[in-house]
Structure 1
Amino acid sequence: MGKKKIVSIEDRIPKLKQARKKKANRRLIFYLSIFFLLIAIIVYLQSPLSHVKTITVTGNQFVSDKEVINQSKLTTKTNIWTINESKIIDVLKKNPSIKSVKIEKQLPWTVDIQLNEYERVGYVSNNGVYYPVLGNGQILTELKQKTANGDAPLLMNFSDKSYLHKMTKELQKLPTSILNIISEIHWKPTDENKYKILLYMNDGYLVDGTIRGFSEKMNVYPSIVSQLNPDNKGIVHIGVGAYFESFDKESQEEVADDETEG
């Protein structure tokens, strides 16, 4: 059997001291790193390095970038970490053309304001000036223009704003393909039916209908017209069932359409 090597306590003490010193140094470096990191964060938060440098606005058609940024109160002196997104959203949603708002921070210095506006569903005319009308019935009087763009119908004689609102709610449900072929919508209230409307279509037909359930009934307009002779224009009546009345008054025909009946 070999002899066991005996290490005296005097020999081990220097090694223990050295190990303890290394451990203490590592701990000191760790605490110093945390300290300087905290100092760096504080300096960053208090310096222009944390200020917003770029503000982008997307999704806006009816309100300008400048107007949105002014209403948001964001500036190049705003600390990107102190931005109150919910407060900005509440302020911007007070604009009647804005349906919803989303705020995104793109570090290190950019804030993106994403807008979702109500769609333009028509125009109203006053003294030869045209104003866009949104799907919530709001008339944008600040956006007056000399002509309608032809991308939405002209809404005529809607003297009662409550009926205008009902009409626009129906129009915003229509697909763009149908909305774009409507030239004019005239409100024609009677004692029996306050919801009565008459449409002038870009394809030469007239449509006699009602505001109630208009979007559902009008969705089948293309299939109704496809059954008619394109050379024989007239009035397409939509309501309980559907029928076509020629302008020459010599022919009137039922139009088969299961979705319109009832």
Structure 2
Amino acid sequence: MDDNKRKSDRKLRAIKRAEKRRNRGLESTDDHTFNENDLSDDLTYDDEERYKIHRKQDEVNDNQEDRKEKNDPKTPYSINDKESDTQATKASKNHTESDSKKHRKKNNNKLSFNSLKDFNNQRKTRKQEKQDKYEGMSLQEKREQQRIERRKRQKQIQYTVITILVLLILLFLIYMFTPLSRISHINITGNKNVSNSQIEKALDIKDNSRMYTYSKKKGINNLEKNDLIKNVEIDKQLPNTVNVKVTENDVVGIVKEKNKYVPIIEGNKELKNYDGDIAGSGPILDDFKGDDKDSIIKALSNMSSDIRDMISEIKYAPEQNNQNRILMFMKDDMQVVGNMDTIAKKIQYYPQMSQSLSRDDSGNLKTQGYIDLSVGASFIPYGDNGGSDSKSDQNVRQKSQEETVAKDELQSALNKINEQSDSNN
């Protein structure tokens, strides 16, 4: 009963729209135009959509006919119409743009109409299949059949969920009780002065240690007991890898006490009880005591780690008129004389100074000498017998007359560095 009423309502609405359309004079000569003859008791939503599309098409055709009449040169027009020619020309561009938009809209309507039609056909097909399935059954038999199918679907869902849970449990048990979960890889990064063997020993990872039982907190606490280590991060990476990232305290200097080398880290802290290998970790300090030792440690702390790594040894070498004088032995066999109070600022230009000096094919200086940073920056060649002295006891000598030319050539390269240093200060 309700279906018949809805069909009759749609039929009446379609008739009213068709009457309004005729009253507005929008009748189309298209054979496929929707009209009263198309109305029947089996009127569907697709027919109404087809009616809307044809109606829009008729409007577009009427607009195109109107524009043709206006553009026809044989059509008489008055003198006043000439004044509107310019406006018509401007409007023609807008009409062209609107035509293209309407054309695209028409194509979109056709696509939507086809997709809607397919959807309705599929819905009708499914509905018909459902009706055929229960055809010939009483109401009670139909309900019983639906109840059986519902229970069948519920059982299928339950079997699927149980199967997934069983598989997950099996995978978990396989991982837990097989060698797959044993820690077999340790990746250590960031360490420089602390060896990998020391870190692995502090981590306390045994052959039977497993990923799910190993304590990261315990490993971090053990590593941070080492004074050279500032911070530690430990991450577990499935299935059996432990990643360790170490941040060390910088070693700014090394002091020799008796037969042992004691490292000095940031903050002027001496690690007297450290028994590890710190060779090459920082410059060796010789003959520094008390306040002089504190001053050179402060200067080294203000240097970058790259510059500190270039220094092999620093010797305290005061003079009568300069008690802060130091002698630095670099790892590239150069010597640098400086002042403890200013060496931190001036030594940052040492890589440029060293590169500016002339060297032979083997990398040795063509003119042997040292760089003086105590006042400005200059290169001073040694005397004839300077090469026979040891590094630690070599004295600073006045340049001879024949060495002046060599010094001038090398000094010209340092002048630019001096100017840059003064401008930064």
TM-score, length of structure 2 as denominator length: 0.46
Which residue, out of 92, 97, 116, partners 2:228?
A: 97
Secondary structure at 1:102's aligned position in 2?
Answer: strand
- 2:276 counterpart of 1:115: no
Pairwise CA RMSD: 4.4
Q: Which has the higher helix share?
A: 2
The alpha carbon displacement at 1:169 in A equals 1.9
The alpha carbon displacement at 1:25 in A equals 0.6
1:165-204 alignment, distance < 5 Å: 165-171=297-303, 173-175=304-306, 179-180=309-310, 182-187=311-316, 196-201=325-330, 202-204=332-334
222 and 114 in structure 1: CA distance in 2 versus 1, 3 angstrom threshold? closer
- 2:394 counterpart of 1:258: no
Which residue, out of 132, 135, 142, partners 1:12?
A: 142
Which residue, out of 373, 381, 401, partners 1:237?
A: 373
Residue in 2 aligned with 1:28? 158
Amino acid at match of 1:221: Y
In structure 1, runs of 5+ residues without a counterpart are: none
* Higher RCO (C-alpha under 8 Å, 6+ residues apart): 1
The alpha carbon displacement at 1:48 in A equals 5.3
Contact kept in structure 2, 1:200 and 1:207, CA below 8 Å: no
133 and 195 in structure 1: CA distance in 2 versus 1, 3 angstrom threshold? farther
Contact kept in structure 2, 1:123 and 1:152, CA below 8 Å: yes
1:72-87 alignment, distance < 5 Å: 72-86=203-217
- 2:278 counterpart of 1:142: no
Post-superposition Cα deviations, 1:142-199, rounded to whole Å, max 9, x if no partner, equal 2359xx66x854321233464464244245x1436x743x342123579998865321
68 and 144 in structure 1: CA distance in 2 versus 1, 3 angstrom threshold? closer
Work out the CA distance in 2 between the residues paired with 1:19 and 1:193: 103
Work out the CA distance in 1 between the residues paired with 2:322 and 2:142: 106
Identity %: 23
1:50-61 alignment, distance < 5 Å: 51-59=181-189, 60-61=191-192
1:31-42 alignment, distance < 5 Å: 31-33=161-163, 35-36=165-166, 39-40=169-170
Work out the CA distance in 2 between the residues paired with 1:249 and 1:194: 20
Residue in 1 aligned with 2:261? 131
Which range moves more in the overlay, 73-82 or 87-96? 73-82
Larger radius of gyration: 2
- 2:350 counterpart of 1:221: yes
Contact kept in structure 1, 2:254 and 2:263, CA below 8 Å: yes
Which residue, out of 335, 356, 360, partners 1:205?
A: 335
Contact kept in structure 2, 1:217 and 1:238, CA below 8 Å: no
TM-score, length of structure 1 as denominator length: 0.68
Work out the CA distance in 1 between the residues paired with 2:320 and 2:180: 65
Which range moves more in the overlay, 192-201 or 218-227? 192-201
Q: Which has the higher strand share?
A: 1
Post-superposition Cα deviations, 1:84-136, rounded to whole Å, max 9, x if no partner, equal 54553343123122243232322112212233445666544344x56374653
Amino acid at match of 1:236: D
Aligned residues: 251
